[in-house]
């Protein structure tokens, strides 16, 4: 099933007066029986009428990061998790996972409504429902509010664009697979045009769509973009438009700062003034519409082939997790620590926690109802000074991108 089929279905829906079942439309919407995802029913007003699924590994970081994963059309949260391998990654690296799921009552093909204005505005519809789910994860799990990320495929990729634009203060980064830029469609005609033709727009116009979606003034989330060059469902030119949009938001030049091959595929990279990778783009040559699968740098395979889940020799899920900075923590077997040593370790840990990270139970309870984003620094704190560019770091990144360093 594709975004095009979904839009055509919505266009014809008023004519289907006798339609009383989904038939073949919902045939892929049954979740796998052995999914580790758990459903949470009560997470807020849920104006978008979505379902909330999550996975929190038993062995995890003390204050885990959160990755929000948005499935594509004709998929379920559990089905996409099985295919893309996100819960396996979460087990290996100790982060939490949130996987919203569309309902057939909202969209016959199970697509997120990325082109409906009522679902793509801040504090409205499906975008607001996903925000409320993140707030519930903060209450239940105690996630690190400064390490929340979002990724998605196809309609989920387009919805990832929506979340990054409407709640930029909430996310440290995002990854869009075979998606579209934010704000290029507000109705079905524009959605079809964007999918098939992807009209080129000025960078400033695209950037303004993001800047005008909220009152946020920065910093902005970093972004990874993935697209198959043989995609006939969502025009690959959309990847260029997404990159163009976020380069303008980050005020970065259009020319890539580095180009290299990763697992045989071209990758373009842009850095900020501190030498940190801010925008990257992967072109998966000769790949159709879907999420590319393969083996990660740790020689582990993540995911399994299926509809829109394509063996390509590169694990997008692993590389996206690495781009988010989530692949450094590795679960270690528990060791018995002498009580005296444990006390000293606890004292040292308390001393090294920055004051801005400490919260009371009341603060944690109120946070989802107030800021719903990375917690602001105390009002009395002076704004941080921007560091000069680290030449050594830039050289190291260039060598790494070129495959000359590990």
Residue 351 confidence (pLDDT): 31
pTM score of the predicted model: 0.77
Residue 396 confidence (pLDDT): 52
Report the C-alpha dihedral over residues 371, 372, 375, 380, rounded to 10 degrees. Answer: -10
Q: Yes or no: say if 284 and 227 are a contact pair by the CB < 8 Å rule.
A: yes
Residue of 222, 125, 127 whose CA lies nearest to 167: 127
Residue 339 confidence (pLDDT): 46
- Active site (annotated) includes residue 154: yes
Q: Encoding tokens for residue 138?
A: 């903060």
Residue 34 confidence (pLDDT): 83
Distance CA 89, CA 318 (A): 7
Residue of 133, 219, 124 whose CA lies nearest to 171: 219
Q: What is the DSSP string of 196-211?
A: HT-----HHHHHHHHH
What is the maximum span of the chain, computed from C-alpha positions, in angstroms? 74
Task: Choose the catalytic residue: 54, 154, 224, 317.
Answer: 154
CA torsion through residues 264, 2, 200, 250, sign: negative
Residue 299 confidence (pLDDT): 83
3-state SS assignment for residue 253 = coil
CA distances from 225 to 179, 354, 362 (A): 9, 33, 38
Residue 298 confidence (pLDDT): 80
Given the structure tokens 């800021």, which residue do they identify?
371
Phi and psi torsions of 291, nearest 5°? -95, 125
Q: Yes or no: say if 82 and 30 are a contact pair by the CB < 8 Å rule.
A: no
Residue 397 confidence (pLDDT): 54
pLDDT by residue, tens only, the chain of 406 residues: 455 554 444 443 333 333 222 223 333 444 556 899 999 999 999 999 999 999 999 999 999 999 999 999 999 999 999 999 999 999 999 999 999 999 999 999 899 999 999 999 999 999 999 999 999 999 999 999 999 999 999 999 999 999 999 999 999 999 999 999 999 999 988 998 999 999 999 999 999 999 999 999 999 999 999 999 999 999 999 999 999 999 999 999 999 999 999 999 999 999 999 999 999 999 999 999 999 999 988 888 998 898 999 999 999 999 999 999 999 877 655 444 444 444 443 333 333 223 333 333 333 333 333 334 443 333 333 433 334 445 455 455 544 444 444 4
């Amino acid at each position: 099933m594709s975004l095009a089929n979904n839009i055509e279905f919505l266009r014809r829906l008023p004519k289907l007066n006798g339609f009383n079942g989904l038939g073949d439309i919902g045939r892929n919407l049954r979740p796998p029986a052995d999914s580790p995802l758990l459903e949470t029913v009560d997470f807020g007003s849920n104006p978008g009428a979505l379902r909330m699924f999550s996975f929190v590994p038993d062995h995890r970081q003390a204050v885990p990061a959160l990755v929000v994963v948005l499935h594509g059309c004709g998929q379920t949260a559990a089905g996409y998790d099985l295919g893309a391998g996100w819960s396996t990654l979460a087990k290996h690296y100790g982060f939490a996972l949130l996987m919203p799921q569309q309902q057939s009552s909202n969209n016959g093909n199970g697509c997120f409504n990325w082109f409906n204005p009522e679902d793509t505005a801040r504090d409205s519809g499906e975008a607001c429902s996903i925000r409320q789910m993140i707030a519930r994860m903060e209450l239940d799990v105690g996630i690190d509010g400064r390490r929340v990320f979002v990724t998605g495929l196809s309609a989920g990729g387009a919805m990832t664009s929506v979340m990054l634009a409407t709640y930029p203060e909430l996310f440290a980064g995002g990854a869009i697979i075979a998606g579209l830029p934010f704000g290029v469609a507000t109705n079905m005609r524009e959605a079809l045009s964007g999918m098939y033709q992807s009209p080129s727009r000025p960078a400033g116009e695209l950037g303004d769509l993001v800047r005008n979606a909220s009152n946020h003034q920065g910093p902005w989330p970093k972004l990874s973009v993935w697209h198959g060059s043989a995609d006939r469902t969502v025009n690959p030119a959309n990847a260029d438009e997404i990159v163009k949009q976020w380069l303008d938001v980050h005020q970065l030049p259009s020319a890539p700062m580095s180009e290299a091959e990763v697992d045989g595929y071209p990758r373009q990279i842009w850095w900020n003034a501190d030498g940190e990778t801010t925008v990257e783009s992967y072109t998966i040559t000769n790949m159709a519409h879907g999420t590319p699968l393969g083996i990660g740098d740790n020689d582990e395979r993540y995911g399994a082939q299926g509809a829109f889940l394509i063996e390509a020799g590169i694990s997008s899920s692993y590389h996206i997790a690495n781009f988010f900075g989530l692949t450094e923590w590795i679960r270690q077997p528990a060791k018995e620590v002498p009580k005296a040593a444990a006390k000293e370790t606890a004292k040292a840990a308390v001393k090294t926690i920055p004051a801005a990270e400490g919260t009371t139970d009341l603060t944690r309870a109120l946070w989802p109802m107030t800021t719903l984003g990375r917690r602001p620094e105390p009002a009395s704190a002076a704004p941080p000074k921007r560091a000069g560019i680290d030449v050594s770091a830039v050289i190291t990144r260039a060598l790494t991108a070129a495959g000359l360093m590990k």
